[in-house]
Amino acid sequence: MGLLTVTAKGQVTLRQELLRHLGVKPGEQIEVSALPGGRIEVRAAQPPGSIEGFIGLLAGRSSQTASLEEIQQAADAGWSGEA
């Protein structure tokens, strides 16, 4: 996709075609991860409240497990206001 120039402040501007490719709009965030070999990975950050941001949030925090039936019962109770 070409070269990017680092400014005197150490900043880099991503071109519009890269932002479109990521699906990022003004005001949204980008996640950057450092990889081995001096490489980075850039991806669109998951918006707050997205299901992708929620999945795995509580993983490993409890030794309890629930069956699909128990999960459905809890969800039904929550939606009906019984919980």
Per-residue pLDDT of the chain (83 residues; tens, 9 = 90+): 689 999 999 999 999 999 999 989 888 899 999 999 999 999 998 766 667 666 766 677 777 888 899 889 989 988 887 76
For residue 83, the model assigns a pLDDT of 62
Place of tokens 């699906």: 23
For residue 51, the model assigns a pLDDT of 73
Sign of CA pseudo-dihedral 10, 44, 52, 56: negative
For residue 1, the model assigns a pLDDT of 61
How many whole angstroms separate alpha carbon 82 and alpha carbon 3?
58
Tell me the whole-structure pTM to 2 decimals.
Answer: 0.52
Other Cβ atoms within 10 Å of 46 Cβ, number:
14
